[in-house]
């Protein structure tokens, strides 16, 4: 967290995208294959 406040650059955008993908994966766990997971990620 301190890196986001003290450095000139931040990986917040990348971390946000990874977090969103993880959330979708948790929602679809055991229900869907890769094709549906890909569609869900691209639609959001």
Give me the tens of pLDDT residue by residue for the chain, a chain 44 residues long. 565 567 777 788 888 888 888 887 888 777 767 788 788 778 87
Q: Give the global pTM.
A: 0.52
Q: Residue 39 has which token pair?
A: 């569609």
Q: Scanning the structure block, which residue is given the tokens 């995208």?
A: 17
Q: How many CA atoms lie within 13 A of 42 on its CB side?
A: 6
First-to-last C-alpha distance (Å) of the chain: 26
DSSP letters for 11-41: -HHHHHHHHHHHHHHHHHTTT--HHHHHHHH
């Amino acid at each position: 967290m301190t890196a986001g406040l003290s450095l000139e650059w931040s990986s917040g955008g990348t971390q946000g995208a990874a977090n969103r993908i993880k959330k979708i994966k948790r929602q679809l766990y055991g229900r869907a294959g890769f094709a549906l997971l890909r569609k869900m990620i691209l639609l959001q």
